[in-house]
Amino acid sequence: MGEDLDLIEALSHVIEPESGVPAVKLGLLRIERSEKLRIIYTPPSPFVPPILVIKVAMDIARRIQGAEVIVERYFLGKEINERIKRLGNNGSI
């Protein structure tokens, strides 16, 4: 339970750039646990500029070390996910 609260606290600092509101409050993040922790980010609109989607995904990766970050329901999601995975979610481009 405490681990989940720490995770939500860390994710509450991930801000959706266009609105300035935490992505958690907007319901844009989903947490899945299997053999690995996964944080799934759904941009608020398909028209969000790709650089802002990348910024949010990288912010998640920086805050939650070791989690797999996935962008879903976005036209460049596959490319962004491949780039994040290649970087090893280490938070640097």
pLDDT confidence band for 4 (50 / 70 / 90):
confident
> In 10 A of CB 16, how many CB atoms?
21
CB count within 10 Å of CB 36 equals 9
- Cα–Cα distance, 65 to 82 (Å, whole number): 17
- Tell me the pLDDT tens digit for each residue of 27-76: 999 999 988 999 999 999 989 999 999 999 999 999 998 899 999 999 99
Give strand pairing partners of 15. 22
In the chain, what are the domains?
Answer: 2-86 (3.30.300)
* Single pTM value for the model: 0.88
